[in-house]
């Protein structure tokens, strides 16, 4: 039963349902987005390196977190693309701009991975 504003109660059942929806989203991304699959493969490769190369918890969190951020932004980019495709495949300037900006967001997070890994690891080898 919803409250006066329309919010449903937030209990364990609601958290469980949100987890199910999240898993469905991850599955859909895996099945339909080749970029997402590639980034997961890179995470599988880089995650053990992040845990091994990080000197302490902060470094490990930064190395691993920067990679996870790419996945999160890729999911958002894929969601933007799916909504745009839902409304039609014909070209529209705003749709193209939204897709380009989503792609740029993924690119920026990948640059962030390079910067974080470089700033943490390069000083050790100089």
74 belongs to the catalytic site: yes
Using a 10 angstrom Cβ sphere, with 0-12 exposed, 13-18 middle and 19 or more buried, the burial of residue 9 is exposed
62, 116 Cβ separation under 8 angstroms: yes
Tell me if residue 109 falls in helix, strand or coil.
Answer: helix
The active-site residue out of 33, 59, 74, 93 is: 74
Per-residue DSSP letter, 2? -
Cβ contacts of residue 68 below 8 Å, gap of 6+?
43
Measured CA to CA, the distance from residue 58 to residue 37 in angstroms comes to 27
Per-residue DSSP letter, 1? -
The residues that are catalytic are 74
């Amino acid at each position: 039963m919803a409250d006066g504003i329309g919010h449903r109660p937030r209990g364990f059942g609601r958290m469980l349902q949100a987890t199910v929806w999240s898993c469905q989203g991850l599955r859909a991304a895996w099945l339909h987005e080749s970029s997402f699959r590639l980034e997961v493969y890179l995470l599988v490769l880089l995650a053990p390196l992040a845990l091994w190369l990080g000197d302490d918890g902060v470094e490990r969190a930064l190395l691993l977190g920067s990679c996870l951020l790419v996945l999160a932004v890729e999911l958002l980019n894929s969601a933007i693309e799916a909504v745009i495709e839902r409304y039609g495949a014909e070209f529209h300037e705003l749709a193209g701009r939204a897709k380009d900006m989503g792609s740029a967001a993924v690119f920026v997070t990948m640059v962030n991975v390079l910067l974080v890994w470089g700033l943490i690891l390069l000083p050790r080898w100089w």
